[in-house]
Structure 1
Amino acid sequence: MASSVDPRFGAALREFRQRRGLSLRLLGQLAHRSKSHLHELEAGLKAPTADTARHLDRVLEAGGVLARLADAPVDHAAEAGELRARVAASDVSGDMLDRIEQGVDDLASSYPTMAPADLLPLVRRHLAYVGRLLDGRVTLGQQRRLLVAGGWLAVLRATVHIDLRQRTAAVAHLRAAHDLAEHAEHGEIQAWCLETRAWDVLTQGDYRAALDLSRQAQRVAPKGSSARIQATAQEARAWARIGDIGATRQALDRVERLTANLPVPERAEHHYRYDPAKAAAYTATTLAWAGDPGAEQVARAVLTELDPYGDGGARPRRSASARLDLGLALVAAGQPDEAVAVGAQAVTSGRVVPSNWWRAAELLAKVEQSGAPEAATLRDACMEYAPGR
């Protein structure tokens, strides 16, 4: 099945617009399109119609590039299938393994700060390069390094697709990542595939499936690995959504033991390297979901650490999530006015990715249930910034 949204279209639209020195507002005036619609096209949240693509092509003098991209959607399942098919008979060539592995780490470290629609084309290019090298010749040791690099890239690509709510593509690349990891006998990537699936089904409301997948991930993950810690934290969040406070606390206690002597990794922003700050952020989320009275204090401490100056900090996506956690805790504590303020900050930051939007919607629902008159402010912000509006 072909995906209806090709991330290359958004990237190309942004490039041609910037070449002309146009803001989204000015392009909207020239093209007679709304600023929000153009933003959704650039962010990969909405697919262009053929007429819109041809019209923007003329306005931006793009030489037919936009029209061709609109007519050539990416078949994510076919791309992932092709990569998986190569695994069984890989004669790899190339002397760029160190640079490839560095690129994997760079992309995984960009995940917390880069918009998903901007990160996706970069991951696709690196993954395609690894796929081409899988057709060459190299030693068995070098082949395994390529398979591992491809596995990390595939699971990262699946994660970005989940962020963009492109689940068909995400499923295809999680399968590809699992096959690559299995061929390379890499338990941690296999565990991350399970943990990523757990997060995806949790956001869709299937908490029992999330619990089962997070436990599977813990069994597969190597002892002491970041994947095992993350999967344990994911179990705690599943218990919180189920409403079992005792099991939630027990899982959080296990996370605390696993991270007690955990050093800060060399690249703490790396998505697949667990750092102590992430443990605190996950605890805040879990306690807020569980309705635990201690959630407010933990959430405030996390937000102060992430965003001491109120400008988003070094990890703006995590800061936005921390504000949603604090807002939920504040509603439970009978402070809906402040909950609205921090919730609106999170929403208007533009850093709440589509897959996390349900958390903003949940906060809005809780504020409205409280009867607070300030709820209208948060509703207006949600209406303006909602993905795919």
Structure 2
Amino acid sequence: MVPSVDPRFGVALRESRERRGLSLRSLGQLAHRSKSHLHELEIGLKAPTVDTARHLDQVLDAGGALARLVEVPVDHAAEATELRLRVTASDVSGDVLDRIEQGVDDLASAYPTLAPADLLPLVRRHLAYVVRLLDGRVTLAQQRRLLVAGGWLAVLRATVHIDLQQRAAARAHLKAALDLANHAEHAEIQGWCLETRAWDVLTQGDYRKALGLSLEAQQVAPKGSSAHIQATAQEARAWARMGDVRATRHALDRVERLTANLPVPERAEHHYRYDPAKAAAYTATTLAWAGDPGAEQVARAVLADLDPDGDGGARPRRSASARLDLGLALVAAGQLDEATALGAEAVSSGRVVPSNWWRAAELLAKVERAGVPEAAALRELCTEYGPRRQSTADGTAS
């Protein structure tokens, strides 16, 4: 059930903002939210997520008053269970199915640019709509389209939960996505489920398990598909974290061959359509982790392509990650001052999602060990912008 919001939330938000003497624009800059989004929260057109309310509490020093006006987060496991149990026929028209599939593509394309906390409610609403439609009678072909759409939405939702470090919710929806993919006999979604799990355990430091899941994903996903390519790139990252440079290079060579003649997709920002530019970004990350001397040149080229004007570019989350990659490469090359400055730019952009903070922490640890004077300022930024790790009732973290 979607949580209801106390109607006093908008009033309290406006009063807290005005008490601080902030305009909507000023608050938006501090909170890394759009002015229009904050306006809609104040007038009650949009319901805040719990994470958003907590973040605004912190920015406005409201003492938790805003978060208390938002109910306890949804029971993600229960929603996922409902989705899995309702894999039945639905009475829908072709036009409705077309709109659902278009919505899936729109949400997957919004993933690289929209903050996870803002994307999550959109994915939830779309997925809830698919669940409601899985109730009537349709042809088998129409039913399969619904199952496939639900599978894509469930794996996307799991990915966003991982970004927010809500791992119990992520596990539930990855299981739901796999169930839907199995019913629809959709090998690519099956591959993405395994690849997403590989990415998740990689960020938690279980590199051997990440390697096994990556290899399994390559076996399951259709050869040459986006899931197959991404799983191969994930394999390279696992080898890099384990320090096997030869195996890392071998996996990267396979990614290069798979993407050599790959056309740029119509929507290059689509999370589940492999953009050849991703190959360069993954190579930069992987070589930086492996400590390969070639990492700096590749990382510089990736950052220049993503952010030619230094303003974050069209894909600010990728740009922030590229700065961290280049920073790690520069540490290995002994260029510590620039590495620290790049880390500060990435962190202060507000675009490093919670699941990626370990990379910023790794860069910070390296420059601190090297005794870089500016490392203290980088630590302050990490403290200011870093995610709060507060346990919730269902065992997730936010």
TM-score bracket, shorter-length normalisation: 0.7 to 0.9
Going from structure 1 to structure 2, the CA distance change for 1:83 and 1:201 (only over 3 Å counts) comes to same
SS at match of 1:388: coil
Does residue 151 (structure 1) correspond to residue 151 (structure 2)? The answer is yes
- 1:226-258 CA-to-partner distances (Å, cap 9, x unmatched) read 000000000000000000000000000000000
Going from structure 1 to structure 2, the CA distance change for 1:323 and 1:280 (only over 3 Å counts) comes to same
Going from structure 1 to structure 2, the CA distance change for 1:190 and 1:373 (only over 3 Å counts) comes to same
Q: 1:384 offset after TM fit, Å?
A: 1.2
Number of the residue aligned with 2:363: 363
Q: 1:381 offset after TM fit, Å?
A: 1.1
Number of the residue aligned with 2:52: 43
* Amino acid corresponding to residue 278 of structure 1 in structure 2: K
* Amino acid corresponding to residue 171 of structure 1 in structure 2: R
Q: Give the TM-score of the pair, scaled to structure 2.
A: 0.85
- Confirm or deny: 8 A CA contact 1:214 1:231 kept in the other structure: yes
Q: 1:56 offset after TM fit, Å?
A: 3.6
Number of the residue aligned with 1:141: 141
Number of the residue aligned with 2:44: none
For residues 318 and 115 of structure 1, the distance between their equivalents in structure 2, rounded to whole angstroms, comes to: 12
- 1:74-115 CA-to-partner distances (Å, cap 9, x unmatched) read 11111000110111x334434400000000000000000000
Does residue 160 (structure 1) correspond to residue 169 (structure 2)? The answer is no
For residues 179 and 168 of structure 1, the distance between their equivalents in structure 2, rounded to whole angstroms, comes to: 17
SS at match of 2:146: helix
Mark the runs of 5 or more structure 2 residues left unpaired by the alignment.
24-29, 34-47, 390-398
Number of the residue aligned with 2:92: 93
- Confirm or deny: 8 A CA contact 2:109 2:269 kept in the other structure: yes
Q: 1:224 offset after TM fit, Å?
A: 1.6
* Amino acid corresponding to residue 262 of structure 1 in structure 2: L
- 1:136-174 CA-to-partner distances (Å, cap 9, x unmatched) read 221111110010000000000000000000000000000
For residues 82 and 171 of structure 2, the distance between their equivalents in structure 1, rounded to whole angstroms, comes to: 15
- Confirm or deny: 8 A CA contact 1:116 1:164 kept in the other structure: yes
Q: Which moved more, 1:368-377 or 1:240-249?
A: 368-377
For residues 354 and 345 of structure 2, the distance between their equivalents in structure 1, rounded to whole angstroms, comes to: 16
- Confirm or deny: 8 A CA contact 1:195 1:217 kept in the other structure: yes
Number of the residue aligned with 1:203: 203
Number of the residue aligned with 2:106: 106
Question: RMSD between aligned alpha carbons?
Answer: 2.9
- Confirm or deny: 8 A CA contact 2:237 2:248 kept in the other structure: yes
Q: Which runs of 4+ in 1 moved over 4 A?
A: 6-10, 15-21, 23-28, 38-42, 44-48, 52-55
Does residue 231 (structure 1) correspond to residue 240 (structure 2)? The answer is no
Q: 1:26 offset after TM fit, Å?
A: 4.9
Percent of paired sites with the same residue: 75
Number of the residue aligned with 2:26: none
Number of the residue aligned with 2:330: 330
Q: Which moved more, 1:346-355 or 1:373-382?
A: 373-382
- Confirm or deny: 8 A CA contact 1:7 1:120 kept in the other structure: no
Mark the runs of 5 or more structure 1 residues left unpaired by the alignment.
29-34, 58-65
- 1:167-218 CA-to-partner distances (Å, cap 9, x unmatched) read 0000000000000000000000000000000000000000000000000000
Going from structure 1 to structure 2, the CA distance change for 1:253 and 1:387 (only over 3 Å counts) comes to same
Number of the residue aligned with 1:74: 74
* Number of residues of Structure 1 aligned to a counterpart in Structure 2: 362
For residues 355 and 383 of structure 1, the distance between their equivalents in structure 2, rounded to whole angstroms, comes to: 16
For residues 359 and 318 of structure 2, the distance between their equivalents in structure 1, rounded to whole angstroms, comes to: 13
For residues 199 and 165 of structure 1, the distance between their equivalents in structure 2, rounded to whole angstroms, comes to: 13
Going from structure 1 to structure 2, the CA distance change for 1:266 and 1:9 (only over 3 Å counts) comes to farther
Number of the residue aligned with 2:373: 373
For residues 376 and 109 of structure 2, the distance between their equivalents in structure 1, rounded to whole angstroms, comes to: 37
Q: Give the TM-score of the pair, scaled to structure 1.
A: 0.86
Q: Which moved more, 1:243-252 or 1:39-48?
A: 39-48
For residues 211 and 176 of structure 1, the distance between their equivalents in structure 2, rounded to whole angstroms, comes to: 23
Number of the residue aligned with 1:60: none
- Confirm or deny: 8 A CA contact 1:340 1:377 kept in the other structure: no
- Confirm or deny: 8 A CA contact 2:197 2:210 kept in the other structure: yes
Query: For residues 228-377 of structure 1, what are the structure 2 equivalents within 5 Å?
Result: 228-377=228-377
- 1:34-75 CA-to-partner distances (Å, cap 9, x unmatched) read x88x99955377799xxx899449xxxxxxxx73x42x4311
Q: Which moved more, 1:376-385 or 1:246-255?
A: 376-385
For residues 226 and 54 of structure 1, the distance between their equivalents in structure 2, rounded to whole angstroms, comes to: 43
- Confirm or deny: 8 A CA contact 1:326 1:342 kept in the other structure: yes
Number of the residue aligned with 1:62: none
For residues 74 and 383 of structure 2, the distance between their equivalents in structure 1, rounded to whole angstroms, comes to: 30
* Amino acid corresponding to residue 93 of structure 1 in structure 2: V
- Confirm or deny: 8 A CA contact 1:7 1:121 kept in the other structure: no
SS at match of 1:43: helix
Going from structure 1 to structure 2, the CA distance change for 1:267 and 1:230 (only over 3 Å counts) comes to same
Going from structure 1 to structure 2, the CA distance change for 1:47 and 1:384 (only over 3 Å counts) comes to closer
For residues 369 and 289 of structure 1, the distance between their equivalents in structure 2, rounded to whole angstroms, comes to: 17
* Amino acid corresponding to residue 238 of structure 2 in structure 1: A
* Amino acid corresponding to residue 43 of structure 1 in structure 2: T
For residues 254 and 74 of structure 2, the distance between their equivalents in structure 1, rounded to whole angstroms, comes to: 42
Going from structure 1 to structure 2, the CA distance change for 1:231 and 1:8 (only over 3 Å counts) comes to farther
Number of the residue aligned with 1:83: 83
For residues 20 and 210 of structure 2, the distance between their equivalents in structure 1, rounded to whole angstroms, comes to: 42
